[in-house]
C-alpha cells in the first residue's frame, strides 16, 4: 500500500515542482482554481428565490424589538447562544422545528452562531414569561443554579436610548428590510408605545406592525422604558416573526400520519 502511494505521489510532486518554476502556468492554475471556488459559492445565489421558503406573514422587528436585538449583540449574548436549530432529530426534539432560511430574512447581522455555552434560543419566544426572563437576566443562578451567565441587572435601570432608532431602521431598509416611511418616522414613539400599553403611542404600534404585536410592560415596571424592556421584547419574538416553520411541521406530521394509515390498510389487506 505504501509503495503504491509513493508511486502515485512522486509524479504529482514532480509535476507540481515544474509548475512552480513557470510563473505564467502557476498564475493560470491559481485563476482556474479560484474560478471553480467562486462559481461554487456564487451560483446558488441565482436560485435563492426558489430555495428560500415563502412566508407572506413574515413581519419586521418593531423598533423596540430591534433595539433589544442591538442590546443582545452589544452584550455579546450571541457568543454563548446560537439561533440555528439544525436538522437533527435530537435538536428538533429539544428545541422545536429546525430553522428555515426565511426566518433570518431580516436579520442584520445574522446570529446563527456555532457555540452553545447556553441553549439555542431560535424558538425562545413565548416559552417563558416576561417575569422569568427579567429574573434570569438580573440573577441567572437564581433561576438556573448551574448557569455561568453573567448578571445583567443594570439593564433594568438603564433608560432605553431611542434617538438613533429612525436612522437604524433607515439603514436596515437600505439593505432590504421593508420598513415604510411611517415606520421610520415614528420609530421613537413606537419603541416607547410598545412597552407602555396605556400610552397614546401604543395604538400606532399595532397599526404599523399588526394586531398580533405584543404590547405590554415587558420588564414589569412603571417609569421610563428601559433596556430590559427592549431585550425581553426581543427574546419574546424569537421564532415568532412567521409561523411558516410550524405550518411545515404540521404538514410533515400530516404526511407521516397518512403514510402510517396507508401502511396499516395495506397490512390489513
Tell me the pLDDT tens digit for each residue of 159-180: 999 999 999 999 999 999 999 9
Region of poorest pLDDT, from 7-11, 132-136, 155-159: 7-11
Q: What is residue 264's predicted lDDT score, i.e. its pLDDT?
A: 54
Query: Is residue 254 a part of any domain in this protein?
Result: no
Query: Is residue 71 a part of any domain in this protein?
Result: yes
Q: How many domains does the chain have?
A: 1
CATH code where residue 202 lies = 1.10.760.10
**Mind listing the pLDDT tens digit for each residue in 94-125?**
999 999 989 998 999 999 998 899 999 999 99
Query: For residue 209, which of 227, 187, 229 has the smallest C-alpha distance?
Result: 187
Query: For residue 233, which of 245, 216, 210 has the smallest C-alpha distance?
Result: 216
How many other C-beta atoms are found inside a 10 Å radius of the C-beta of residue 15?
10
Q: Torsion over CA of 140, 142, 145 and 150, rounded to 10 degrees?
A: 20
Q: What is residue 248's predicted lDDT score, i.e. its pLDDT?
A: 63
Q: Would you say residue 25 has pLDDT above 90?
A: no
Q: How confident is the model at residue 255 (pLDDT cuts 50, 70, 90)?
A: very low
Are 226 and 196 in contact, with CB atoms under 8 Å apart?
no
Query: Is residue 258 a part of any domain in this protein?
Result: no
Query: Is residue 257 a part of any domain in this protein?
Result: no
Q: Would you say residue 130 has pLDDT above 60?
A: yes
CA distance 213 to 215: 6
Query: Is residue 55 a part of any domain in this protein?
Result: no
- CA–chain centroid gap for 42, Å, is 23
Q: How confident is the model at residue 188 (pLDDT cuts 50, 70, 90)?
A: very high
Query: Is residue 112 a part of any domain in this protein?
Result: yes
CA distance 229 to 11: 67
3-state secondary structure 221-250: CCCCCEHHHHHHHHHHHCCCCCCHHHHHHH
Q: What is residue 243's predicted lDDT score, i.e. its pLDDT?
A: 87
Query: Is residue 241 a part of any domain in this protein?
Result: yes
According to DSSP, residue 98 is labeled: P
Query: Is residue 120 a part of any domain in this protein?
Result: yes
- CA–chain centroid gap for 150, Å, is 22
Range of the domain at 130: 63-249
* Residues 13-25, mean pLDDT to the nearest whole number: 76
Are 148 and 117 in contact, with CB atoms under 8 Å apart?
yes
**Mind listing the pLDDT tens digit for each residue in 44-92?**
877 777 777 778 889 999 999 999 999 999 999 999 999 999 999 999 9
pTM surpassing 0.75? yes
The grid cell for 168 is 437604524
Amino acid at each position: 500500500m505504501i509503495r503504491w502511494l509513493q508511486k502515485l505521489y512522486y509524479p504529482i510532486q514532480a509535476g507540481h515542482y515544474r509548475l512552480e518554476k513557470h510563473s505564467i502556468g502557476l498564475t493560470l492554475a491559481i485563476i482556474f482554481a479560484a474560478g471553480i471556488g467562486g462559481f461554487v459559492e456564487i451560483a446558488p445565489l441565482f436560485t435563492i428565490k426558489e430555495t428560500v421558503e415563502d412566508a407572506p406573514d413574515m413581519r419586521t422587528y418593531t423598533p423596540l424589538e430591534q433595539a433589544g436585538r442591538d442590546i443582545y449583540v452589544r452584550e455579546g449574548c450571541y457568543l454563548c447562544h446560537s439561533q440555528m436549530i439544525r436538522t437533527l432529530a435530537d435538536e428538533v426534539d429539544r428545541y422545536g422545528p429546525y430553522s428555515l432560511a426565511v426566518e433570518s430574512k431580516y436579520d442584520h447581522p445574522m446570529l446563527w452562531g456555532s457555540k452553545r455555552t447556553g441553549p439555542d434560543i431560535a424558538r425562545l419566544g413565548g416559552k417563558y414569561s416576561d417575569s422569568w426572563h427579567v429574573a434570569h437576566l438580573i440573577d441567572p443562578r437564581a433561576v438556573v443554579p448551574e448557569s455561568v451567565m453573567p448578571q445583567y441587572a443594570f439593564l433594568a435601570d438603564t433608560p432605553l436610548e431611542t434617538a438613533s432608532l429612525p436612522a437604524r431602521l433607515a439603514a436596515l431598509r437600505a439593505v432590504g428590510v421593508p420598513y415604510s416611511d411611517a415606520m421610520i418616522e415614528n420609530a421613537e414613539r413606537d419603541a416607547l408605545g410598545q412597552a407602555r400599553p396605556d400610552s397614546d403611542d401604543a395604538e400606532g404600534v399595532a397599526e404599523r406592525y399588526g394586531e398580533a404585536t405584543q404590547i405590554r410592560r415587558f420588564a414589569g415596571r412603571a417609569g421610563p422604558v428601559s433596556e430590559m424592556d427592549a431585550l425581553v421584547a426581543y427574546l419574546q419574538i424569537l421564532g415568532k416573526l412567521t409561523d411558516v416553520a410550524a405550518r411545515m411541521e404540521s404538514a410533515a406530521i400530516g404526511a407521516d400520519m397518512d403514510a402510517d394509515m396507508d401502511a396499516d390498510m395495506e397490512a390489513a389487506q
